[in-house]
Chain A
Amino acid sequence: MAMDVEFAKIEGRSVPYLTSVGVLAALAVGGFAATLIMHEHGLYLSGMTNRVPWGLQIAMAIFYIGLSAGSLVVSGLYGVFGRMEYKPFARIAAYLAMLFLIAGLLSILTDQGRVDRVFTKPFTYVNATSMFSINPALYSGHIMICVLYLWALFKEKGTLTKITSLVVVIWAIGTHTGTGAIFAFVPRELYNSALLPPSFVAAALSSGAALMILVLVTLFKATGRHLDDHLIIWMGRRLLSIFLVVTFYVLLIENAHRAYLAASHEAGMFFLFGGIHSFMFWIGLICVGCVIPAILLFIKRTGTSVRWTVFASTLVVVGVLFERFLIVVPGLVHPPELLPGWEVTDAALWEGVVGYSISYLEVLQTLGVIGVIGFMFMVGLRIMPLAPKEARAAAGA
């Protein structure tokens, strides 16, 4: 049996390791500096405007939060579904899930206009009808359950692991539905859709599973530890491919519904064929993010090759990054129809279809968040026995 999985810290003295830790720390410092500058002078230094008040940071926040779902599912393969051969990945997946949630919260935090108040006001004055009040409770609960789950994994507590992994997977569905609801529960044509939370969950699962494949392959290669190809291939063919099909299906229905109904036809058509974001949708999300990787995974020759699986996973992560951006920005860029049949053409406010350009400080902030969690991940590998010494499929053990 592959029950006795040995975990070990990594040595952490090699030049590549130290270099990457240094680079990630530098990115974190850069992001911190960018945030300080922006909040000293005002958010006009970001690309956001009064018409597009949410931008890259929120898109990245929901991207990170989505990533945590897939990690948890991979982690839950062992705890919830009892697949012993996936025990080696349980710890690292749970740790990553926690980090991604922290990244999501950090992105939202650094995006606020008055960061100085974020640590007091939301706790003092809760608005029970606001998704922004409910979600932090879900997120921080999620992080805490992840910590408990990790502890159970480290201490090899069988029953507690089973319970916590089940709770954490269920909680994750809540977290992601809540995140989708931030947009879905708002009266804007391209936001308000009951299918948005499910499509968010589906895309979250695919991006998370894809990123786990990337992280695992890279990690085992970099540390020179043994990783059975079967494990990765199974994850690609049996998990990721299914998630991709579901994502594609939900996206299809969501957009067809919007474009079909007369009330939202104009907005739906704007989303599908109305500008640079439509290009992102068709090429970035549908082709690169769903169809091509799904085909690659389903074809036997490419689907059973680790290389092709890694390639497909990369495509999925990129595609879902586009998806997140497409959730946030087009719905704001598209003007609300104040008087049906009429179009606002000229006003003091920037009316009509507007643009959104990302500023370099926003990019720095985003890189900073990646730096923070990357740094925590690298340090975690060194101080905690997260990674297994080897990962073998049950048959090969």
Chain B
Amino acid sequence: MDRRDFLRTGGALVAGVSGALSLPALSSCTSQEAQSATVLSGKKWGMVVDLTRCREGCTACMDACRTENNVAYHGDKRWDIHWIRRATLEPKEESAGLEEKSLLLMCNQCDDPPCAQVCPVQATYKREDGIVMVDHHRCIGCRYCMIACPYNARFFNFKENPEWPNPEYPRRSHGVAESCHFCAHLLDGGGRPACVEACEATGARALIFGNLQDPASEVAQLVAGGSAKRLREDWGTKPKVYYLGL
């Protein structure tokens, strides 16, 4: 029994009665649509960020993400939302003398996501294909996920998003939390994340995306190559975003 199972069992005892309420009701009215759940099975989406190819000053992936997912930008660092962002890292005393690094940060799509562990309404959860998603219809805006995320990759809608660049994708009301979900709406339709497309369009090909469970895929091979690193593996969150040249 590992830690999560232990917590589950313990919590289930506490929450037993109310848990019974969450059993899915109303299974009758969509039986027609109920295709097999194979859309998600047999996949673990993952991304490799090749920092050696990433160009300083390029914002293609960030712009594409903002446009595709209607990510709010208010021009104020306190409330801006970034599903993917660039950070500059400077060496501390112990690594003094090394050159500063430029890094792309996004939701690490952990395999053991602390945000999903703490969400009181299961609004944040891990899909079968490993994507950590937020059900914004459920989110009560407690911001516990932001507290729990050690990567600071989750954001809260402090303000209503003033713009709506992509009407085909919903925006978020103020008062709910959000983070990158690998453009799950595009993946399910057979596409790829907007940032990956944009990066490829610039010719840099710094973002490589694919199915980690498919040994033939480029990401799986890069990861198997051994030089891909993840951020703070010691936290045990098992991220699915890998970095080359970190």
Contacts and interface: CB of A to CB of B under 8 A. Distances in A.
Contacts of A114: 139-141, 173, 175-176
Interface in A323-338: 332, 335-338
Contacts of B117: 129-130
B128 interface: no
Interface stretch (B27-35, B151-159, B185-193): B151-159
A50 interface: yes
Q: Shortest 10 CB-CB distances between A and B: which pairs?
A: A113-B141, A128-B11, A113-B175, A132-B120, A347-B87, A42-B174, A44-B158, A49-B78, A53-B143, A341-B95
A126 B18 contact: yes
B222 interface: no
Interface in B128-162: 138-144, 146-148, 150-152, 155-160
Contacts of A137: 14-15, 18
B150 A188 contact: yes
A15 interface: no
Contacts of B11: 127-130, 133-134
A341 B90 CA distance: 9
Contacts of B60: none
A123 B15 CA distance: 10
B141 A112 contact: yes
Interface stretch (B37-45, B204-212, B230-238): B230-238
Given A128-B10, A134-B15, 4 more contacts: A112-B175, A113-B177, A137-B15, A138-B14
Given A113-B139, A122-B120, A127-B119, A349 B18 contact: no
A235 interface: no
B80 A50 contact: yes
Interface of B: 4, 7-8, 10-12, 14-15, 18-19, 21-22, 62, 77-82, 85-92, 94-95, 100-101, 103, 105, 114, 117-123, 138-144, 146-148, 150-152, 155-160, 173-177, 231-232, 235, 237, 246
Q: Which of B140, B150, B156, B160: most chain A Cβ within 10 A?
A: B140
Main secondary structure on chain A at its contact with chain B? loop
Contacts of B101: 339, 342
A337 B82 CA distance: 19
29 contacts: A39-B175, A41-B159, A44-B174, A49-B158, A50-B152, A112-B142, A112-B175, A113-B139, A113-B140, A113-B156, A113-B175, A121-B138, A123-B18, A124-B121, A125-B123, A126-B15, A128-B8, A128-B12, A130-B119, A130-B120, A137-B14, A137-B15, A332-B147, A337-B232, A338-B89, A342-B91, A342-B101, A347-B86, A349-B85
A41 B175 CA distance: 9
A95 B138 CA distance: 34
B122 to A, nearest CB: 5
A43 B79 CA distance: 10
Contacts of B7: 128-129
Interface of A: 39, 41-44, 48-51, 53-54, 108, 111-114, 117-118, 121-134, 136-138, 182-183, 185-188, 191, 332, 335-351
A133 B120 contact: yes
A341 B91 CA distance: 6
A134 B159 CA distance: 29
A345 B152 contact: no
Contacts of A127: 11, 118-122
Given A112-B140, A126-B22, A339 B8 contact: no
A349 B121 contact: no
A50 B118 contact: no
B15 A133 contact: yes
Contacts of A128: 7-8, 10-12, 14-15, 19
A44 B159 contact: yes
A59 to B, nearest CB: 13
A343 B143 CA distance: 25
B147 A186 contact: yes
A347 B122 contact: no
A53 B115 CA distance: 14
Contacts of A336: 150-152, 232
Nearest to B102: A346
Contacts of A126: 15, 18-19, 21-22, 120-122
